[in-house]
Structure formats: structure tokens, C-alpha cells
Structure 1
């Protein structure tokens, strides 16, 4: 059985895939967020392998070198979900098994959109970012608009890119304030800024005014993982997800963890994903994870 190394999207882009773990393991597609790449799962994936899962970490549109279209319209959530749907289909064809999906940050938004499409995935684990409808609704019910001010800033053409030119500059300072560590910032510079991926990564934000995300209710078993040290996403948005899931749902709250769950709490992330895949949630029920 061969490893899956790339997937072609419906519009002809090529996404790179890191396929690791036991070849006969239950397949899980891992979707990264901003401003990271598939390597953001590097600490989580081995823990999932130990639990019998096979992981497919994807460099998504804007990040993968052969998938960087010009223009913000190419980065609408529908396109991103179409990409992920193509990955899921390729994984299902390669393994012959139902496919589970997990995403962090923007990858979670894409995962919600994919999971809302009937018949694509067997389960969803979303880290940090809630269902898009819960997120939008939280703007009128909490301080989420204040937390999300940077989304407006990212709409400015060329300015965020200019602020990222120097190591330790304003953009890295912004990321550091959200809890990104010095090694994580160095990886951001090496994998996103220096490879020319930043404009494509920002395209995900810049496409929002063109097509606000509309995602239906999710009908597959779902876990939402939120950390109480997250400066970008508030509790109201996380707790609101339940209204947009039909069927089995779990909210896991991690105590004392920042937004960057896969790199800073990999064991908790792996356990939440594995528990959802297994359908074994006894130890995850509404508890504060320390």
C-alpha cells in the first residue's frame, strides 16, 4: 500500500500531504490553521499513531507551493472546503475506510464546512475555532468583535506582508501576544514568510468580505476543543457550537492553554481526536483539562 503524497483539487491545484502512521490505521485528515503549515501537527501525529490512527496532514491552498492562486476570490471558504473534500475522497480511495477530520484555527473552519457536507466524513474534531455560525453570532453576544480586530487589519493590501519582512517585527509581535513561542515564530518565518506563502495565507481572511462563510448544521459526531487562554476566540463562541450540531457533541475545555493547542497541548489534542474517532468520550465530558 503506497503512501499518499499529494492531492489535486477540483480546480487543478496540487496540495502536499504528509501520510504517516500505521498503514492499516483508521484515517484522520489533519487541517492546519493560520499562520502554520502541516508541520503544526508534528507533535500530535505520533501520539495518534500510538493510538492506531493513520494521519494525513495537508499543506492547504495558499501554503502548498503548487497551490497558490492569485486573487482573494480563490480563497473563499467554499474553495477551501472543496480542497479538503478532495483530500477526504483521495484518502477514502487509498484506504478503503471511512475518514475522520480534525482541524485547528482556520483548518477547523474548513473542517466544519466539510463535516456539514453529507456523507463526506465520519467525525469531526475542531480545535480552537467554532462553527462559523456560532462564531458570527458571538459578535453580538460577547467581546468576540474586540478579539477579532486583526481580521480587519489583514484586509489591508501589502501592509501585513511588509510588517512581516523583519524577524521580530510587528507581525511576529502580534503573534507572540497570542501565545506563540519563539520556536513557533521561527517556524512561521521559515515555513510561511521565507517560502512566499504569507500572501496566500492572508487570502483566507481577505476573501471573507466577498463571501461570508455559510455552513449548515453538522450531523456527524463532533468534538469542539477550546482553551481558556485563547485570546482570539472567546468562550461564548465555543459554547455556541452545540446549537449547530445535530447528534452527538462534546465540548472539551483545556485549562491554561493558549490558542496554539496542537503545539502547546499535543497530548490533549491527540486524546480528544482519538476519543472522537473511537466514540469513547467518558473521560472528556465537560471537564476542565489541566
Structure 2
């Protein structure tokens, strides 16, 4: 397994890579606040099975620096560029958390290039025809008396500053609050009372999850201390712009083979789970939809053996 930089048309991508160079290519797309190394167990397992596994640091994260361009068109374009830079004309794309919407949109926009797709933790969410998402999120939360969804708070131009002030504490709290081993009352629901930000809503006594070694945690702390959280939060601040740019995808379905995996205790299900029930209406060749008992949000790290088994079964069926 190696880590190296790959020059594409627009970026220098830091990637974690293993497996035979002539094996079928699988791209593994991380989410927030993660890095390509979050897929280390999957890169190893896929390589052993004969696949060429590549997990990039995404635009604005870790070793892949960028100051502009965080719409879904940029993010899908990055993956198209990376496939070409790796000398391939097709691949399977797998995404977790924010990486899942990127993977779903890779399949929607370039079905010729992304021949199969898998999403972890975040189901495909079709474009809402009645208007952009963040005002709708705010209105739904207000009607339900739930407070503000953290995603609407992330729209503020300075929302990254509490994270940048103490990256180690921010990361420790985030990994703790969305982990399956964390007790119900200590997990984040994603909804915030007025005047309380996301990090303040998580107990100061938050500990690292059982699967997170101090050495692995240091990789995240070093990366986010160097690059900051502003660019990752720009992904969230592009949500309404994404809605404007994707009218041409309205009502489009994915015909490629697809897979979805989610943790039973994933807090994201509080605000994205409603889309799980209708997945087969949008993924016409959905070959598996799995809920992992007791698992939280960080699936590929919390439950590497189960995720590897499901991914390999899916890939070997193609």
C-alpha cells in the first residue's frame, strides 16, 4: 500500500493506493471530516482480491489542496479527471458520508465511466423540484420544533472557525458523537438549540471511538491542523448552488448496479433516513440494501470486516 500524489487536469490528488495496476479500478471517496486513509482496511482487502483500489484525499482535504470550486460538478469532475490520470476508461465508485452524494452523482452524470456505484451511510437523495435544500431544511426543522440542523448552521461564512480553533478537540468530538459505540444520550442528533453550536452540543468528556488508535487519530489532527476546515465546510456551503446546477438531472435514475450500506445507529438517519425506503425507485439495479446492527456512522472504520465482505460480494457479482 502506497501514498502518492497524482496530477490531474486541475489538482494534485494525494491518494492511498494498492492492488494490481491492471485490476478493476475501484475509487473510494471519503466524507467529512475524513481523509483517504479512512479507507485503509478496504484498500487492503480489495487489493488482496485483485482490485486496484484508490482512495483520494478529496478536494480541500489533507494532501489535496484547493481554494475554490466545491460544487458537485467540481467534485464529480475531479473523479473523472482522476480516473483518466490513472489511465483507465471506467471504474466502480464507492462513497461514504459526503463521498456518497459524490459517488451517486458520478453515476448519474457519467454512467459511461462509472459502471457501478455503492454508497455508505448517506442514501441517494433526489433533487427536490420545489426549491433549494437549505431553506427547506430550516423550515422543516422549525415546524418540527427540533432546532437548527447543523447543515444550516454550516452555511455561515465563519462556521469553520470553532473547528479551526482546536482541531484535535473538534475531531475527537465529531468521531465520538457519530459512533455506534456511543450511548444514545451522547450521540448527536444533528439538531441544535439556539445559541449552541455543534461542537458545544457534544460533551467535553468525549473520547476516541474504540476503533480509533492514537496514531490514526494523529493523521487526522495533523492534516486538519495544516489545511483547516474552511474548504471542507465549503462543500456544505455549495448545497444550494448544487441545486441550481443540477436541474438537468431532475428525475434521472441510475441503471448501473448499486449497493447501499448504513449503520443501524447512524445519527444521520435522523435527517436522511427517510430516503432509504425509496432507494429502489431511483436505483433500478439495487443489488443490496444493508443495515448493520449496532453500527454508527463511520462504517468502513467501525465495521471493516462487514463492509469489506459486502463490498467484495457486490464487486465480484459485477
- The normalised TM-score by structure 1 is 0.80
Alpha-carbon offset, residue 132 of structure 1: 2.6
For 1:30, the equivalent position in structure 2 comes to 28
Query: Equivalences for 1:149-168 in 2 at 5 Å?
Result: 149-166=149-166
**1:101 alignment partner in structure 2:** 93
CA distance in 2, matches of 1:57, 1:63: 12
Q: Which residue of 1 aligns with 2:16?
A: 18
Cα gap change, 1:13 to 1:167, in 2 (>3 Å): closer
Matches within 5 A, 1:149-228: 149-166=149-166, 169=169, 172-179=172-179, 181=209, 183=213, 186-192=218-224, 194-212=225-243, 214=246, 215=249, 216-228=252-264
Could you tell me how far apart the structure 1 residues matched to 2:83 and 2:112 are?
11
Instruction: Say if 1:19 and 1:57, in contact at 8 Å, map to a contact too.
Output: yes
- Following TM superposition, by how much is the alpha carbon of 1:43 offset from its aligned partner in structure 2, in angstroms? 1.7
Q: Which residue of 1 aligns with 2:280?
A: 242
Question: Per-residue displacement from partner, 1:157-182 (whole Å, max 9, x unpaired)?
Answer: 22432344225646643442112626
Contact kept, 8 Å, 1:134 with 1:244, in 2: the verdict is no
Cα distance in 1 for partners of 2:227, 2:50 equals: 36
Aligned equivalents of 2:18 and 2:228: distance in 1? 24
Q: Which residue of 1 aligns with 2:291?
A: 253
Task: Note the C-alpha offset of 1:240.
Answer: 2.4
Asked if residue 274 in structure 1 is aligned to residue 312 in structure 2, the reply is: yes
Give 2:123's match in structure 1, choosing from 125, 130, 153.
Answer: 130
In the other structure, the counterpart of 1:79 is 74
Match of 1:221, SS state, is: strand
Structure 1's unaligned 5+ residue stretches are 281-290
Q: Is the 8 A contact 2:6 2:12 kept in 1?
A: yes
User: Structure 1 66/228 Cα, relative in aligned 2: closer, same or farther at 3 Å?
Assistant: closer
RMSD: 3.0
Secondary structure of residue in 1 paired with 2:99: helix
CA deviations on 1:32-59 (whole Å, 9 max, x unpaired) are 1111110000122111222222201111
Which of 1 and 2 has greater Rg? 2
Q: CA deviation at 1:188?
A: 3.1
Q: What SS is found at the alignment partner of 2:55?
A: strand
Q: Secondary structure at the match of 1:220?
A: strand
CA contact (8 A) 2:24 2:91 kept: yes
CA distance in 2, matches of 1:147, 1:50: 46
Q: CA deviation at 1:256?
A: 0.8
Cα deviation code 1:103-145 (max 9, x no counterpart):
1111111000001122011211111111131897x97xx99x9
| Contact in 2 for aligned 1:29/1:99 (Cα 8 Å) | yes
Q: 197-206 or 174-183: which moved more?
A: 174-183
Structure 2 gaps of 5+ residues are: 180-207
Q: Cα offset for 1:270? A: 1.4
Structure 2 residue matching 1:132: 3-state secondary structure: coil
TM-score of the aligned structures, taking structure 2 as reference length: 0.74
Query: What is the CA-CA distance between 1:237 and the residue it aligns to?
Result: 2.2
**How many residue pairs align between the two structures?**
266
Larger displacement relative to structure 2 (14-23 or 259-268): 14-23
SS at structure 2 position matched to 1:44: helix
